[in-house]
């Protein structure tokens, strides 16, 4: 974090008084997991902070004074999308970043051209926007430990993507190992649900063959929004044997009136 702030000071794109507040906000308030900061380069984090600051300035300059942030940066091997959204609601008027991610990076994926996705929702509403939070999406081109495994290979240490293998906990690897083994022996998707200790949050894990479930990333969001659930984190991991795994951390929206109208997450 200190290196990031030093680099921001050097660039001088916004007042030095804002360096600490903008960096702290990015690190602590967007719901981004610690492993992102441990594995992402300083220069990349600095770029995200500057881009987000520019998007906030543009949002504040709107005539209607609504803090509506829209940020998208696309490349062949990397993409970033950040926008404001209401938890538990699919907005047809929004930028539809998830549909774009589906069509651009997921639907056409294959072992030789696959992507992994990390998505995070901010832990608190935006200033002056009680119903709005920020949602971030980070897309990466896969670099597999073994890009050409045997046709029946299921060992996660062999078929896993390098960044995933570096970041994943032993528990996550065990969950993915089991669901990948099951998915290889089936034609349809495999779905598992896990409790998150000490909270009402549930972890939904879905494994499927690449090319067999078009639009699944955005479709899953539409599905859990129907039940007025929201996700704090979402991950899509691709494996070099042609299996994709999506992991969603789901929880009810923080609205007692809405919660009474829908079945409990349990």
pLDDT category at 97 given cuts 50, 70, 90 is very high
Residue 266 lies in a domain: no
Q: How confident is the model at residue 177 (pLDDT cuts 50, 70, 90)?
A: very high
- Tell me if 102 sits within 8 A of 121, measured CB to CB: no
Q: Are residues 48 and 155 in the same domain?
A: no
- The pLDDT confidence band at residue 127, using thresholds 50, 70 and 90, is low
User: Do 1 and 54 lie in a common domain?
Assistant: yes
219 shares a domain with 204: yes
The predicted pLDDT at position 129 comes to 62
Q: Which of 42, 66, 90 is the last residue of a domain?
A: 66
Q: Kindly state whether residues 16 and 59 are assigned to the same domain.
A: yes
> CA torsion, points 162, 238, 251, 130, in degrees to nearest 10?
80
In a domain, 254, yes or no: yes
Same domain flag for 124 and 241: yes
pLDDT digits (tens, 9 = 90+) for 206-254: 999 999 999 999 999 999 998 889 999 999 999 999 999 999 999 988 7
**Of 36, 66, 96, the domain-final residue:** 66
Same domain, residue pair 62 and 92 = no
- Could you give phi then psi for residue 130, rounded to 5 degrees? -60, -30
170 within domain boundaries: yes
Measured distance CA(59)–CA(98) in Å, rounded: 21
Note whether 179 and 192 are within 8 A (CB). yes
Same domain, 208 and 83: yes
Asked if the structure places residue 181 within a domain, the reply is: yes
Question: In whole angstroms, how far apart are CA 221 and each of 89, 119, 166, 203, 248?
Answer: 9, 12, 27, 14, 9
Mean pLDDT of 94-121: 92
| Percent of the chain residues past pLDDT 70, beyond the cut | 93
Average pLDDT over residues 176-198: 94
The answer to whether residue 138 is domain-embedded is: yes
Q: How many domains does the chain have?
A: 2
Mark whether 116 and 37 lie in a shared domain: no
Contact indicator for 238, 109 with CB cutoff of 8 Å: yes
Residue that is last in its domain, among 66, 81, 104: 66
- The residue among 248, 250, 156, 256 whose CA lies nearest residue 206 is 248
Domain that holds residue 38: 1-66
For residue 98, is it within any domain?
yes
Q: 89 and 33: one domain? A: no
115 and 149 within one domain: yes
Q: Answer yes or no: do 47 and 167 share one domain.
A: no
Distance CA 55, CA 201 (A): 31
Mean pLDDT throughout 40-55?
87
Same domain? For 50 and 168 the reply is no
User: Is residue 265 situated within a structural domain?
Assistant: no
Give dist(CA 212, CA 67) in Å, integer.
38
Confirm whether 149 is domain-assigned: yes
pLDDT greater than 70 at residue 260: no
């Amino acid at each position: 974090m200190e290196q990031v702030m030093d680099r921001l000071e050097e660039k001088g794109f916004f007042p030095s008084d804002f360096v600490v507040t903008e960096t702290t906000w990015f690190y602590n308030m967007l719901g981004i997991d610690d492993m992102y900061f441990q594995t992402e380069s300083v220069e990349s984090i600095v770029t995200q902070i500057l881009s987000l600051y520019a998007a906030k300035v543009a949002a504040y300059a709107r005539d209607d004074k609504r803090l509506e942030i829209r940020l998208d940066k696309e490349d062949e091997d990397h993409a970033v999308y950040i926008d404001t959204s209401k938890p538990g609601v699919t907005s047809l008027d929004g930028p539809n970043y998830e549909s774009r991610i589906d069509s651009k990076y997921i639907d056409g994926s294959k072992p030789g051209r696959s992507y992994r996705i990390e998505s995070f929702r901010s832990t608190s509403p935006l200033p002056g926007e009680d119903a709005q939070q920020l949602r971030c999406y980070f897309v990466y081109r896969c670099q597999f430990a073994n890009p050409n495994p045997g046709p029946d290979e299921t060992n996660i240490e062999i078929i896993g993507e390098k960044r995933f293998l570096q970041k994943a906990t032993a528990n996550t690897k065990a969950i993915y190992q089991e669901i990948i083994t099951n998915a290889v022996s089936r034609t349809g998707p495999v779905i598992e649900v896990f409790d998150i200790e000490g909270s009402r949050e549930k972890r939904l894990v879905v494994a499927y063959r690449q090319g067999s479930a078009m639009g699944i990333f955005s479709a899953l969001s539409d599905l859990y929004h129907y039940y007025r659930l929201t996700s704090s984190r979402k991950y899509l991991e691709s494996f070099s044997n042609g299996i994709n795994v999506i992991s969603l951390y789901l929880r009810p929206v923080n609205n007692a009136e809405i919660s009474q109208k829908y079945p409990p997450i349990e």
